[in-house]
Amino acid sequence: MASAHPSVKQEPVEAVDLESRIIELCQQIPKGVTDAAIQNDMPQFTPQQRVMAINRLLSTGQIDLLKSSTGLVYKLKDPSATRYCSEFLYNHCSVCCTYIYETS
């Protein structure tokens, strides 16, 4: 018989620590963190663990992956840019909808 309480998936402590440390590195190096910097800072983690942590941070919108002159870098996502885009789109859509309504 199945349990009445759903099970909650627990992330390994190491994965959470790795994600937290990547975020800390991004805060310390705002121009962008390379994979080599992450590897040098945390050599105890395998490439697979690093990729999983980075993918999780990317998919949850905590960091961005950008191309720079030195290669790919990870940066913290700028929350103000997201807010600005949302406000811009809302205002733009409002103007368009008003125009369509008034011209109909």
% of the chain surpassing 70 pLDDT:
61
For residue 8, pLDDT beyond 50: no
Query: What is the per-residue burial (b if ≥16 Cβ within 10 Å, else e) of 21-31?
Result: ebbebbeeeee
Q: pLDDT digits over 38-68, tens only?
A: 999 999 999 999 999 999 999 999 999 999 8
Q: Read off the pLDDT band of 93 (50, 70, 90).
A: low
Note whether 25 and 54 are within 8 A (CB).
no
pTM for the predicted model, two decimal places: 0.63
CA distances for 4 relative to 1, 7, 10, 11, angstroms: 9, 9, 18, 22
